[in-house]
């Protein structure tokens, strides 16, 4: 039962991930990305990693994807199909061939017995409480508070850049008419 559910979730993730990259409308691609992140969280729940699943939903779906949607909707006509350049059929075929080449390389990597991931997959990690995770994330000496603040400043700069790009200059509007 769990194997069937895993393969269904993995197939859905694969389809939504391909749609994220291939859809010409950026807004539709972002919506497909949201679905892909939810299916990833479902896989984490299937593996009994509830905290990681909640973090996946809170961080990626709640933060990054909503931020991407804001940037897409704030920029000038970026979500409209007419403003996107069309990709030729030859480039699309080359993208598919590259994707299948990478998939084949991953398949060969995981089938070989020399994979370092296979040797460590049987080891179990020690149980950790949510309190310990929170203290580790937010501690100043050996934690991740500084990278967290740097990322928040980077996201703020990207939002300000999107607002600046979406503003219309009245001088340029007069020249166009």
- So what's the pLDDT on residue 145? 83
Task: Tell me if the pTM is above 0.95.
Answer: no
Structural domain boundaries enclosing 157: 130-172
Q: For residues 61 and 2, state if they share a domain.
A: yes
Spans in the chain with pLDDT lower than 50: 79, 82-84
Q: Is 110 part of a structural domain of the chain?
A: no
Q: Is 66 part of a structural domain of the chain?
A: yes
Q: For residues 134 and 58, state if they share a domain.
A: no
**Six-digit token pair at 19?**
């749609």
- So what's the pLDDT on residue 40? 92
- Please state, in angstroms and rounded to a whole number, the distance separating the CA atoms of residues 177 and 172: 9
Q: Of the candidates 22, 50, 84, which is a domain's last residue?
A: 84
- So what's the pLDDT on residue 141? 81
- So what's the pLDDT on residue 85? 57
Q: For residues 69 and 4, state if they share a domain.
A: yes
Q: Is 136 part of a structural domain of the chain?
A: yes
Q: For residues 135 and 65, state if they share a domain.
A: no
Instruction: Report the b/e string of 116-144 with b at 16+ CB within 10 A.
Output: eeeeeeeeeeeeeeeeeeeeeeeeeeeee
Q: For residues 74 and 141, state if they share a domain.
A: no
Q: For residues 78 and 152, state if they share a domain.
A: no
CATH number of the domain encompassing residue 56? 1.20.120.1200
Q: Of the candidates 66, 84, 102, which is a domain's last residue?
A: 84
Q: Is 91 part of a structural domain of the chain?
A: no
Q: Is 6 part of a structural domain of the chain?
A: yes
Name the nearest CA neighbour of 16 among 33, 40, 41: 33
Q: Is 115 part of a structural domain of the chain?
A: no
Cα 112 to Cα 7, 58, 104, 106: the distances in Å are 22, 36, 12, 10
- So what's the pLDDT on residue 91? 82
Q: Is 105 part of a structural domain of the chain?
A: no
Q: Is 109 part of a structural domain of the chain?
A: no
What is the number of structural domains in the chain?
2
pLDDT tens digits for range 27-78: 788 888 889 989 999 999 888 888 888 888 888 877 777 777 777 777 655 5
Q: Of the candidates 47, 63, 84, which is a domain's last residue?
A: 84
């Amino acid at each position: 039962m769990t194997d069937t559910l895993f393969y269904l979730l993995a197939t859905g993730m694969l389809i939504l991930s391909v749609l994220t990259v291939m859809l010409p409308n950026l807004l539709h691609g972002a919506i497909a990305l949201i679905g892909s992140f939810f299916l990833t969280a479902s896989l984490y729940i299937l593996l009994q990693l509830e905290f990681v699943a909640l973090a996946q939903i809170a961080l990626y779906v709640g933060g990054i994807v909503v931020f991407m949607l804001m940037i897409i909707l704030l920029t000038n006509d970026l979500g409209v199909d007419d403003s996107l350049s069309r990709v030729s059929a030859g480039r699309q075929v080359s993208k598919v061939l590259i994707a299948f080449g990478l998939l084949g390389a991953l398949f060969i990597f995981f089938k070989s017995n020399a994979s370092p991931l296979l040797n460590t997959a049987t080891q179990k990690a020690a149980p950790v409480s949510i309190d310990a995770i929170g203290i580790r994330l937010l501690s100043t000496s050996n934690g991740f508070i500084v990278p967290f603040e740097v990322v928040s400043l980077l996201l703020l700069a990207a939002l300000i850049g999107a607002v600046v790009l979406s503003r219309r200059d009245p001088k340029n509007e007069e020249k166009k008419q």
